[in-house]
Amino acid sequence: MPPRLKFHPLALASALAALSPALMAQTAPAPAAASSNKLETVEVTGIRASLQRSIDAKKQADTNVEVISAEDVGKMPDKNVGDALSRVPGVNVQAGNALAMDEAERVAIRSVPPSLNLFTVNGHAISSGDWHISDQASSTRSVSFALLPSQLIGQVTVFKNGQADAIEGGISGSVDMKLRKPLDFRKSLTGEASLGVVYADRAGKTDPQLSGLIAWQNEARSAGVLVQAFSEKRHIQRDAAETFSRGFFNAAGATASGDASLLNVRFPANFNAASFQGVRERKGAYIGAQLRPSKDTDIHLSAFSARLDAQNFNKAPYATVSGMIGTLATGAYRVSDAKVVDGVLTEATLTRPAGSSTQTQGLMVDQLLRDGAYSTSQFLDLEAEHRFSDSFKLKARIGTTKGDGVTEAQPYIKLGLINPHQFKYKIFPDKAPEYAFYDAAGKAIDLSDIKNYQLVQERTNAPKSLDKEDYLHLDGEQRLDWGPFNLLKFGLRATEHRRDFSQNLIFWKAERDGGYSQVGLSSGNFLPLINGVAPALPVPAGSFPADQGKGLGGNYPTAYPFFSEAQIRAFNAQYLYQDPANINWGGAYTIKESNQAAYLMTEFETGKWSGNLGLRSVTTKVTSISYQRLGNYGCEATTPRCRVDGAFSTNAQVNGVFLPQAVETTHRVLLPSLNARYQFSRDLIGRFSLNRTMGRPNYGELAGSVSLTNEDIAKGPLTATMGGNPALKPTVSNNIDVSLGWYFAPRAFVSGGLFQQRMKDYAGRGRTSLPLFNPLTNKVESFDTATRVGVDARVKGLELATELPVGAGFGFGANYTYVDAEDDSFTPAQPMVGSSKHTYNLVGFYETERYSVRMAWNHRSPFQWVQVASAPFNVQRWADAVGTLSASLNYKISDTLSLSLDANNLNNPRRKYYHDGLEQLPQGYFVSGRQYYLNLRAKF
């Protein structure tokens, strides 16, 4: 059902103010000609023609925009919308948590996180899910471009300034992708088809790539239908040498290690040699039907559906250094041969103390399938526009969109190397580490022999996220003859949004049927036993890929007892079960949002000035539902704290008891904007923007697990940790933007700009007081909670760009962006997550009537990737500088046939991440290989 229109008084007053002059002005004479800065039509094809279209749109726009015109998108080496956007000034590509870098997953504008930038299709919202399990759990607002192949592009516009008629949600900008409509084509019947293959050199696999489009319109150009479809399969392999986290020696740990001088020294908590393998099958279709019964009426119905099946298999044997070092003098391994560089233990020998009774896991061989991993995106949209007179028109839109991210099951087998005698390691700032295990005789342990391992239990889950929105838009335009004011725009928008996240737990059948027991390990895992005996394991029939680690450097073990996918599924079917009723309620949540907006905006033109001035009023009502665990396994049967009104459990023996926590908040924001364009001369254009924008917190930042760390006031202040904060407000930013562009020749320009943003209530990390249920006192009390909090943030920078044809078919483009972005999480002026100070793109091309070649280089400087704790030992993960090289070659066989060869990641970039800003403490090195696409295209 469409959302109900519920507007607060200010929004309604704005709407009425807009309607009154609009209705009175209907009798005013229409202007003799449309505003001179409106987009002109340019009939061109090819690389140079596509550049000309983009430059024309940028030159004529009132605000600071970047445009990608892709009538002939095959001439770009970009395979999804994110790849195409990565060439735009001020845009950074970000990967998902899989760190499989073969395609762009998301983009950030001017280094502001993707979740605070808005992406729309044809001017309306689009929901999407995520294919990787970690992204499914993070529940961001950003759209996954993995579901949107570049063939869909009609035109993409990046808006870097806010204005009143733009949908709210983009702090530093918004991106709108226009899909093609049936009546956009010149011919009555148009067809396009592409047949090709992709070769992924890391995976060593070749897969098919198919896409097609057909558009029909009647002779009167009053009705048309368009159908576009795609089916693309690709194997991926991402190899890594990584450390998931890092630790540091506190006083007890330094004493236990046998070397008190190690106090406050950091160390790598684990070493992982991983191979992430998967198959991605992207299939979908877009259908558009258009009616134009008169020159004044246009109706467009569109539907889109895409699904990405992303079955994946992660092999990750990792040494658990933190489990060996420990903190107890009776169990901690002794440290010798220590070498400390910049406060990091870069080299050491760890030896198990004689007579230790602690069960220590030195190594885990983690083999995890993600069966049924997929993501989807769908929308159904109806748009109708009618011009009542030469001066007045209305447009209405109603629609719905939905996206899923699901992992149906996670079958696994995990092996543990228990109580190894000795472990030696070295870490390096420029390559993968070296490490090995040794027995008491000083002989290297054979890590490929399954007899050296025991079965280890670790709880897995099957997550599911759902994102859904229903929307209703009403927009009007009234031509004016009020001095410099030539157009009045006004409108209303209402949406109902819902995000659900849950995780289905996987258990041992013996936990349900009886006979299950376990032995605890120092790592926090367990050795599972059924009737006192470890379950029988199959004979390993798997292996690492032959080239695992190639390009990473270092010298680490790669021979382990791996199982095949079939063996893992069979083992799980025999010993484990997945009950849909057993939900991990501690990590589940629901977010409901009702949004209403009204705007009023006027466009003006006088002399060399033009632009727009407006106000948008936005109301957001949020309901956040999360679940507080009252007690652990079996709690309901043994303790009064779990018998609380409203508490529930699907299975208290294995899951605990939970109390739903529902919090409602309402936020109202006014967004004024002024965008001005000044034409110094025919070719020299200046722009100025002063505006306020807003973004909403990620869904996962508004809800999440609750853990009470102290519930007894007699022992000190009440404290807790919470995954998300339901009291978070929308982030509001006051922005200023100044730019100058010189369009000195056809297909040529030079531009530069300065920008600054000051944000309030940016979702950072810190502590705040939140009302939580205290089971000790059986009432709601105020807890000092470590969670997400609203902090101040600042962004400033500059952008430079040029496009220049040099003659004889050659040309190049370049752009550079400098950004200084910081927020006040934990302590003032912390680097903003995801912010690179320097980003640049270089593009060169050569084109003749028959041939074209295009090469593109994209580079960004280091940026903070994650921040999850407070100083002085804050867990910060940084990404090192990285550049990627792509190329596209096209050969025109005839007017209807062409052949293309595209290559992405030609330089096979090795990506480095490191902890705490210390290059001496790498978090990991990752390589994903190159991808080559060969396509035959036909047009008629």
| Residues 554-568: tens digit of each pLDDT | 889 999 999 999 999
- Residue 873 above 80 pLDDT? no
Structure tokens at 487: 């157009």
Residue 727: predicted pLDDT: 94
- Residue 653 above 60 pLDDT? no
Q: What residues form DSSP beta bridges with 386?
A: 297, 394
Query: What average pLDDT does range 303-332 have in this prediction?
Result: 87
| Under 8 Å between Cβ of 434 and 554 | yes
Q: How many CA atoms lie within 13 A of 701 on its CB side?
A: 22
In a domain, 264, yes or no: no
- Residue 918 above 50 pLDDT? yes
In a domain, 272, yes or no: no
Residue 75: predicted pLDDT: 61
Domain count, the chain: 1
In a domain, 273, yes or no: no
Q: What is the dihedral of CA 502, 506, 512, 517, to 10 degrees?
A: -130
Q: Is 936 exposed, middle or buried (0-12, 13-18, 19+ CB in 10 A)?
A: middle
Helix (H) or strand (E) holding 773: strand 748-774
Model confidence band, residue 330 (pLDDT cutoffs 50, 70, 90): low
Q: What residues form DSSP beta bridges with 595?
A: 495, 620
Residue 342: predicted pLDDT: 92
In a domain, 776, yes or no: yes
The total of other beta-carbon atoms located within 10 Å of residue 375's CB is 25
Secondary structure class of 888 (helix, strand, coil): strand
In a domain, 354, yes or no: no
Residue 10: predicted pLDDT: 34
Model confidence band, residue 247 (pLDDT cutoffs 50, 70, 90): confident
Q: Is 382 exposed, middle or buried (0-12, 13-18, 19+ CB in 10 A)?
A: middle
Residue 22: predicted pLDDT: 35
**In terms of pLDDT, which residue wins out, 30 or 579?**
579
Residue 375: predicted pLDDT: 96
Indicate left, alpha or beta for 654 from its phi (over 0: left) and psi (-120 to 50: alpha): alpha
Residues 221, 226: Cα–Cα separation, whole Å: 13
Residue 43: predicted pLDDT: 36
In a domain, 366, yes or no: yes
Residues 683, 750: Cα–Cα separation, whole Å: 11
Residue 102: predicted pLDDT: 74
Q: What is the 3-state secondary structure (H, E, C) of 474-506?
A: EEEEEEEEECCEEEEEEEEEEEEEEEEEEEEEE
**In terms of pLDDT, which residue wins out, 649 or 830?**
830
Model confidence band, residue 260 (pLDDT cutoffs 50, 70, 90): confident
Mean pLDDT across the chain: 88
The predicted-structure confidence for 743-799, as pLDDT tens digits, reads as follows: 999 889 999 999 999 999 999 888 999 999 998 888 899 999 999 999 999 999 999
Structure letter (DSSP) for residue 783: E
Residue 583: predicted pLDDT: 85
Residue 765: predicted pLDDT: 85
- Residue 41 above 60 pLDDT? no
Residues 327, 255: Cα–Cα separation, whole Å: 8
* 663 phi and psi angles, rounded to 5 deg: -130, 130
In a domain, 263, yes or no: no
**In terms of pLDDT, which residue wins out, 873 or 39?**
873
Query: What average pLDDT does range 308-323 have in this prediction?
Result: 93
Model confidence band, residue 545 (pLDDT cutoffs 50, 70, 90): confident
Residue 651: predicted pLDDT: 63
Model confidence band, residue 164 (pLDDT cutoffs 50, 70, 90): very high
Helix (H) or strand (E) holding 324: helix 321-325
In a domain, 271, yes or no: no
Residue 33: predicted pLDDT: 36
Structure letter (DSSP) for residue 650: S
- Residue 728 above 80 pLDDT? yes
Q: Looking at residue 600, which CATH number applies to its domain? A: 2.40.170.20
Range of the domain at 27: 9-251+283-292+299-345+359-939
Residue 850: predicted pLDDT: 93
- Residue 142 above 90 pLDDT? no
Reported pTM: 0.89
| Under 8 Å between Cβ of 569 and 369 | yes
Structure tokens at 399: 């629609």
